[in-house]
Amino acid sequence: MCPQPDPVSVPPGEPKLLDQLSGRLRVKHYSIRTEQAYVDWVRRFVLFHDKRHPRELGPTEVEAFLTDLAVRRRVSASTQNQAKSAILFLYKEVINKELPWLNGVVAARVSQRLPVVLSVEEVNAALGGLRGTPALVARLLYGSGLRILECLRLRVKDVDFARREILVRDGKGAKDRVTMLPETLIEPLQRHLVRVSELHGEDIAAGYGTVYLPYALDRKYPNAGRQWMWQYVFPSARLSKDPRSDVVRRHHADEKPIQRALQSALRAAGIHKPATPHTLRHSFATHLLQNGYDIRTVQELLGHADVSTTMIYTHVLNRGGRGVQSPLDAH
């Protein structure tokens, strides 16, 4: 079987376009998931136009690609906008070509849907059906308002038991924030970390034990990757090869088992809402507002850049239907 040709031919000695893209994304400290997504979108863009180099393409070709995604492939607006962002990054950061027209390409309008929220009773029923690590993760999502990847990427040093707080590093928008650590989770989390520490000790004894460090800190501090404070609070159950460096190490836990466990717990509790782990974050915000906490405080705990994003949770305050009493109930 003949190997497939590269999507774009490049002069001898020059790095391949997709390799250049990956390298630039790493220099700019984009996450591995964003890197993989952007590389995939640029590959699709090039193949869509019969492997022509992006330098030869213009606004017509970009519009055609994005239109095909929306019309023929029927992707969501957020997916279409991610593809546009990948192409924009390619031209600005890799090809070094300022293209004013690309900023003018109309972004797909993302629908503004109200978040799914569980009642306090539903949250308790769902959490009661979870065991082990999924139970602890789900309680942190609801008790601290974390996004699932923010929770799974926590390092040991990010949890401050004395101050009862969690430091979320590099959250959405590459911003740090502080949120609360629920009192009821202190003891379970400490017991969990004892087991994680034992696992870390076993990895070190087996010749592993290093963890991925952001911002090339492993080159600046060669031994930091073995230190306890840098280890993930929720490590993966198995070792794997880091796609960025080919180093075998223990990454953080995957979110899919958490999602499946929560779905099973919801079904067992007879809850028929389209809930996900992110629903627990929505419920955290809504229940705080219901309990009378200031919306600016909730905004800071959630890490929202604009309070208008937090305002969406006010739709469930007091009563449904925007808190308006139906005339049928007035009689």
Q: Which residues are catalytic?
A: 147, 172, 278, 281, 304, 313
Measured CA to CA, the distance from residue 135 to residue 150 in angstroms comes to: 16
Give Cα separations from 152 to 19, 147, 186, 213, 238 (angstroms).
Answer: 28, 9, 17, 15, 15
Q: Is 311 exposed, middle or buried (0-12, 13-18, 19+ CB in 10 A)?
A: middle
Count of C-beta atoms within a 10 Å radius of residue 289: 20
79-86 LR contacts (CB < 8 Å, sep 24+):
80/107, 80/108, 81/107, 81/108, 81/110, 82/37, 82/41, 83/41, 83/44, 83/45, 85/38, 86/37, 86/38, 86/41, 86/42, 86/45
